[in-house]
Structure 1
Amino acid sequence: MSGEQVMSGPPGIAPDRVEHAARILRAGGLVAFPTETVYGLGADAENVGAVERIFAVKGRPPTHPLIVHLGGGHQLSEWVAEVPDAARRVADRFWPGPVTLVLRRGRRVPHAVTGGVETVALRVPDHPVALAVLAAFGGGVAAPSANRFGSVSPTTAAHVRDGLGADVDYVLDGGSCAVGVESTIVDLTGAPTILRPGGVPREDLEHALGCSVSVRATSAVRVPGQHPSHYAPRARVVLVEPDQVLGHAEHLAARGRRVGVLVPPEFAADAGSRAAHRIIVVPHSTAQYARRLFGFLRDFDRHECEVIVTSVPAPDGLGLAIADRLRRASGPRT
């Protein structure tokens, strides 16, 4: 299929756009669509050829699993070998919403989706456009973020167009994503474990499950978002302590580097007097920070910064997800 023009418009759902997207999915094409987290690059999860095309378009390793998006929690049992009580509790509490469950793969799930492993990641997105497409399509849609592998995730349709261009058959414009970071991935094949922090905080999961939930940076269970370098802008990201951000940025600027700075809010008053090519003050609200994080990173690239200096927030609430994205954005690149 050849690429089609992005159809812009308000976040409302136009039936003809939704049905057009569903037709493309049925034909084995790729559709970029909005979710509450980031834009996804979707294909029929049961069409191996379409799924393999996702990997080719993104440049994504075939061993890196995809998330299957469902239209409702009632479909969960169709895609997994069994539904543990913990999975039902999390789904009932947070779906539709930014949490992904890792469970034992059902026969319906091809190994192309799971990267060859016997677990599958599933979620129900909380976005009217995504839910309308899933309802019209009727099946599961495998969808990673709609960008090249390892780069900054897209939170607008324009980001998708800029990053993937004509490699996508259709882009549904649903406005800016409300959450701004990917879903929390929780492994429920054993003791509840967060494998990727995201839009549902650890504290909320613990409350719903009535037990502690550990967080692992790496795991034997392969899931999206665990690559050491991920979510990365073109500029190199350097992480320092909060009180060292402005000083380190000045040091690099004095050496002739084009420096972008993400300034912690408590040091905002000092930011205007410091030397840097581009300075952005982090919002006080972690929800606002998460929503705008990927936009900030893209802004630094747009201003041709060579290096971005920042710090990570406290690892509570959405701060845990923001810290994860920044650490991986600063990871070693090949």
Structure 2
Amino acid sequence: MSGDSTPLHSSAVIYEAVQTLRNGGLVAIPAETVYGLAADAKNPDAIKKIFVAKERPSNHPLIVHLAAPDKFDQPQIDWIALLAPWARDVSEDALKLINQFWPGPLTLVFKKDKGVLNELTGGQDTVAIRAPAHPIAIGLLRKFKGGVAAPSANRFGKVSPTSAADVRQEFEGMLGLMVLDGGDCDVGIESTIIDLSSGDKAVLLRPGAITPSEIMAKTGVRVYLPGEIKGDNEKEDLPKVSGSLKAHYAPTTPLRLYAPGRVLDALSEFPDTKSRVAIAVWDSESSLGHDGHPAARFEEVEISSDSVAFASCLYRSLRDLDQQGWDLILFPEPPVGEEWDGVRDRLQRACFGSGPSSSNHDSN
């Protein structure tokens, strides 16, 4: 969303979207993270349409999106009741995270209720749930009065969409796809995912805007990294979640990261990239200059050295550069620090999956 110009939808449009979902159709919805391709989470045929549209492997789980009802007279939302049809064993720690961060870019993984469809969970005994913070998504979910499955609204493994135009371009020619325009996404990368399904430890499965330090500071809940709990025979039991494949979020143009001050090294590493190179540089650093540059033609693209602003524009930058016909895109390695872990994760997966043959990587 951007400023006051956000095109909030009329109740008639929201009503049409609700009817589309109830009829088993797909609706692209804005979230504060990225745009999602939404279907009724209780309808197996509708869920299958998501997998077909995205060309996504059917064993790859989806996240259920919920919203609390609009009750002004309640001091606190009864999340336990809202989660009851989906999740078992909602712990005290889970409620601390929910009451602090929902609605917001935090997904929690629980043991699933027996009524949750296998199509939704990739056949696992866990389910991932979040409450999006975008007003259009909240309005839609409240009127729908149920959960929707909504992975990012893009072809599987490709760069996630952060505007309605991105979604339309991604699914050009797909008849009947309703796209709700909620402006540009604020956060710009997918939600943080925390696994609470083992009962005793909260484990980070995907980094995002909400960091373990922030969770600790605001709730007192310690979030472990997967590597910290090895030895408990738990490493094999971590649920598979969205965005956990090695290749993901990838442009068709080859994408590489360069270490601080090592642009020339990065370029000499890829001599086969011909001549047109787009080089992202921090706004806090001086221009690279053309001296001794092996690339016949390169262009500097300034990117924010603030982690929040960088995340907000990351996919927009990758999409735009991907469409400009460069032979190679170079991005600086993000600085060390938890606040950069989300974008570092996305960039590393994007690099691995990038290039014209990126579809070959998707199964890795």
1:1-334 alignment runs, 5 A limit: 10-72=6-68, 74=79, 75-167=82-174, 169-190=177-198, 191-216=201-226, 220-245=238-263, 247-249=265-267, 252=270, 256-270=274-288, 276-332=297-353, 333=358, 334=360
Contact in 2 for aligned 1:242/1:264 (Cα 8 Å): no
Aligned to 1:4: none
Contact in 1 for aligned 2:273/2:327 (Cα 8 Å): no
Q: What amino acid is aligned across from residue 93 of structure 1 in structure 2?
A: Q
Q: What amino acid is aligned across from residue 187 of structure 1 in structure 2?
A: D
Q: Across the two proteins, how many residue pairs are aligned to each other?
A: 326
Aligned to 1:3: none
Contact in 2 for aligned 1:245/1:263 (Cα 8 Å): no
| Cα displacement (A) at 1:251 | 7.0
User: For 1:97-151, what per-residue CA distance to the aligned partner results, in whole angstroms no more than 9, with x for missing partners?
Assistant: 0000000101231010000000000000000000000011110000100000000
Structure 1 range deviating more: 101-110 or 127-136: 101-110
Q: Distance in 2 between the 1:253 and 1:263 partners?
A: 20
Structure 2 unaligned blocks of 5 or more? 69-76, 228-234
Q: What amino acid is aligned across from residue 54 of structure 1 in structure 2?
A: I
| Cα displacement (A) at 1:94 | 0.3
| Cα displacement (A) at 1:192 | 1.0
Contact in 2 for aligned 1:78/1:108 (Cα 8 Å): yes
Identity rate, percent: 39
Give the secondary structure class of the aligned counterpart of 1:223: coil
| Cα displacement (A) at 1:62 | 0.5
Q: What amino acid is aligned across from residue 44 of structure 2 in structure 1?
A: V
| Cα displacement (A) at 1:255 | 6.1
Structure 1 range deviating more: 311-320 or 116-125: 311-320
The change in CA–CA distance for 1:307 and 1:186 in structure 2 (over 3 A counts) is same
Question: Cα RMSD between the aligned structures?
Answer: 2.1
Give the secondary structure class of the aligned counterpart of 2:84: helix
Aligned to 1:5: none
Q: Distance in 1 between the 2:344 and 2:301 partners?
A: 17
Contact in 1 for aligned 2:100/2:219 (Cα 8 Å): no
Structure 1 unaligned blocks of 5 or more? 1-8
Contact in 2 for aligned 1:101/1:123 (Cα 8 Å): yes
Which has the larger Rg?
A: 2
Structure 1 range deviating more: 194-203 or 85-94: 194-203
| Cα displacement (A) at 1:10 | 3.9
